[in-house]
Amino acid sequence: MPRGTVSDAQPRRRSDKVELSRGVDPGQGEAHSAPTPHASYVPDPTAPSPTLPRFAGEGAPALARPKVCPCDFVPAIRSRPMAAPSYEANDGLTFRPLETAADYHAGVELQRATWGQDFGEAVPASILKINQKAGGVSAGVFDRDGKMLAFVFGLTGLQGDPLRRMHWSHMLAVLPEARDHHLGTRLKLYQREVLLPLGVEEIQWTYDPLEARNAHLNLNRLGVEVVDYVEDMYDDDLGSELARGIGTDRFIVSWPVQSPRIVERIADIQAERKPDLGPTAERYAGAPIANASDTAALALPDAPRVRVEIPASIQTLKADDEERAYAWRLSTRRAFEKYLGRGYRVEAFWRDPRDQRCFYGLAAESERT
């Protein structure tokens, strides 16, 4: 629903019509009773490089624990290890479950700081607490003085046929003054670390496709896959300042947390390797821009690869001209619904360094890399 860089109630599908960075959507959203501590997880301050989780079939026990704090981008741990699932990172920040009445209250206030004081869908303190009794996640990032800088809340359940364990990450938010420090990414890694021992194979959430910061976090940093586009997922703006005037259209994304591709992506994050988006921009350089015109009567391009442009900052644009901001919603909605409905996949997102224009790249099945 509302989010910040990267979720929500069980979605209705597009046909039924139904918020990683600013606040990661309560369409990208996430509470919990502390999971059993990982007795086998002992951070190694001398480890020369991160040791990633190994999986069954690779000669190691399933879900073997990493040797480093998952919320660090470098392997060193600055002080004595803390009992899991709490970790003290090498910059003094602590990643841990919400535990006290003060923690739960701070989680509610952080939602309001992100989505506005009139936000009508704030998760109350009681739910942040009891959700943890059923395998959910309610966790935060705290500074040395104990102030909460970011928090994540999500629900764990079953999905599919045959049933498998998954997690719906409903909400992730970062205080405005704490943004641009990768806390959204680090908190997602912590969330994954908490859920792996529960056998969770996939985490899903939502984010607003018009939020460029969230698109970069989700697609380029975390490596999620877009699985659906839902028009007006929450039916109105819910009192959210971020959604006011532009509605709550959302991408539903999937993060297969045990896949080798995601393990590799996490290794890049921990090694502080930035994604190389140059080849992507070159691959789509000649692709038509599907929403180049706001005229609904014009046919969308029939091409194997297309670009869908979004504003560099939808919130800045909305503050200046709400009507133009809503026009972006309509043009992108039309493009995403058409191409995803025809089997195209969202392959990429990038910002052109020359003019700061932002694009999604969508490819037909025959063109996918």
Whichever domain contains 170, its CATH number is 3.40.630.30
pLDDT of residue 315: 93
In tens, the pLDDT along 93-136 reads: 999 999 999 999 999 999 999 888 888 889 999 999 999 998 99
Q: Evaluate if residue 149 carries a pLDDT over 70.
A: yes
Question: 78 and 109 share a domain?
Answer: yes
Question: 316 and 265 share a domain?
Answer: no
- pLDDT > 90 in the chain, percent: 58
221 found inside a domain:
yes
Question: 214 and 292 share a domain?
Answer: no
CA distances to 77, 205, 255 from 231, in Å: 44, 15, 21
Residue that wins the pLDDT comparison between 209 and 86: 209
pLDDT of residue 72: 58
CA angle 56, 259, 250 (to 5 degrees): 145
Helix axes 260-270, 183-195, angle to 10 degrees: 140
9 found inside a domain:
yes
Question: 348 and 206 share a domain?
Answer: no
Question: 244 and 292 share a domain?
Answer: no
Residue that wins the pLDDT comparison between 25 and 301: 301
Q: Tell me the pLDDT band of 42, cut-offs 50, 70 and 90.
A: very low
In tens, the pLDDT along 9-36 reads: 344 444 443 333 334 444 443 323 233 2
Domain that includes residue 221, residue range: 3-275
DSSP string over 114-172: HH-TT-TTPPPHHHHHHGGGGT-EEEEEE-TT--EEEEEEEEEEEETTTTEEEEEEEEE
CA angle 248, 253, 255 (to 5 degrees): 150
pLDDT of residue 22: 38
CA–CA dist 294, 305 (Å, integer): 20
200 found inside a domain:
yes
Q: Evaluate if residue 46 carries a pLDDT over 70.
A: no
Question: 225 and 290 share a domain?
Answer: no
Residues 235-244, mean pLDDT to the nearest whole number: 74
pLDDT of residue 245: 85
pLDDT of residue 206: 95
pLDDT of residue 238: 64
Q: What is the pTM of this model?
A: 0.76
105 found inside a domain:
yes
| Residue appearing with tokens 């359940």 | 157
Question: 213 and 301 share a domain?
Answer: no
pLDDT of residue 276: 87
pLDDT of residue 235: 77
Q: Tell me the pLDDT band of 69, cut-offs 50, 70 and 90.
A: low
pLDDT of residue 296: 60
47 found inside a domain:
yes
> Per the structure, how many domains does the chain have?
2
* Domain boundary pick from 231, 256, 275: 275
Question: 334 and 267 share a domain?
Answer: no
Question: 306 and 270 share a domain?
Answer: no
CA–CA dist 90, 98 (Å, integer): 20
Q: Evaluate if residue 357 carries a pLDDT over 80.
A: yes
168 found inside a domain:
yes
pLDDT of residue 4: 40
CA–CA dist 297, 285 (Å, integer): 25
Question: 107 and 242 share a domain?
Answer: yes
Q: Evaluate if residue 79 carries a pLDDT over 60.
A: no
pLDDT of residue 109: 94
Burial 12-42 (b: 16+ CB within 10 A, else e): eebeeebbbbbbbbbbbbbbbebbeebeebe
> How high does pLDDT run on average in the chain?
79
280 found inside a domain:
no
CA–CA dist 357, 10 (Å, integer): 33
Question: 291 and 160 share a domain?
Answer: no
In tens, the pLDDT along 184-230 reads: 999 999 999 999 999 999 999 999 999 999 999 999 999 999 999 99
Question: 366 and 231 share a domain?
Answer: no
How does strand 305-310 pair with strand 345-351?
A: unpaired
Q: Which two tokens stand for residue 210?
A: 């018009």
pLDDT of residue 369: 62
Among the ranges given (4-18, 155-169, 173-187, 319-333), the one the predictor scored with the smallest mean pLDDT:
4-18
Q: Contact 97/83 with Cβ under 8 angstroms?
A: no
* Domain boundary pick from 275, 305, 334: 275
pLDDT of residue 216: 94
266 found inside a domain:
yes
* Domain boundary pick from 249, 275, 301: 275
Q: Evaluate if residue 85 carries a pLDDT over 90.
A: no
